[in-house]
Amino acid sequence: MFNFFGRSKKNPTLFYHTDVHCHILPGVDHGAKNIQDGLNLLKADMDMGINRVIFTPHVTSETFENTPETLTKAFNTFQHAVEEEGLQVEMHLSAEYRIDDYWQKEYAAGHLIPMPGNYVLLENSFSQELIGSDQMMFDLMCRGYHPILAHPERYPYLAENKERYEKIHKTNVKLQVNILSLSGYYGHAVRDTAKWLVNQGLVDMLGSDIHHVSHVDVIKDYLRSRDWRKIAEKLQGRIINDCVC
């Protein structure tokens, strides 16, 4: 039987090796605050079996108005620190783009940092879905991008209208669920929606979405649970984290 827990219950590992959503890159959002903080989070991610990390710092109007220049500078600095630390991990720079006015401006200017394979991680508003989002996703695909909707289980307006998930997924928009959501970290309602997405076969990617060490502790505890074993059995062979290339 496939060992979803890795070699030891004391060090539970994931069944895939690419983290497509995390806030490990230091000093660019409300994730890792400095180099040492970033190194600690990166080591923790690797400790769970991750050997390939795609950094997805927030790009958000007013709060984190990052640009390709600011993010590339932070990435190069952190990459040097990782090399000095002797960590054997593959790293890529991308971003988590909030669909807002700043996104519209950056997208129009061509200021995107896609993941390998031209995947783009998009975060919706938590209060309401953007009017015209379907057309925007279609436009992205026409330009050769592959849109990913970050943590769809956390948008209450979608959870209340679950048919919308199926319609979005049928348009070839990938759905990325957070392990934190499955653990119950965001509450029972979000957890139940995340599990519903898994059971409906609508989950294409899993992400840690780690911002700080407490997130890591929650995930590691969850990876030891029977509930995670059931979820992992359903998702093994389906999620495409390691195929983002």
pLDDT attached to residue 7: 39
pLDDT attached to residue 11: 77
CB 26 within 8 A of CB 212: no
d(CA 91, CA 51): 9
pLDDT attached to residue 5: 40
pLDDT attached to residue 2: 40
Helix (H, G, I), strand (E, B) or coil at 121: strand
Helix (H, G, I), strand (E, B) or coil at 73: helix
138-154 in b/e form (b: 16+ CB < 10 A) is eebeeeebbbbbbbbbb
Tell me the whole-structure pTM to 2 decimals. 0.94
pLDDT attached to residue 120: 98
CB 148 within 8 A of CB 142: no
Q: For the chain, which ranges sit under pLDDT 50?
A: 1-8
pLDDT attached to residue 138: 96
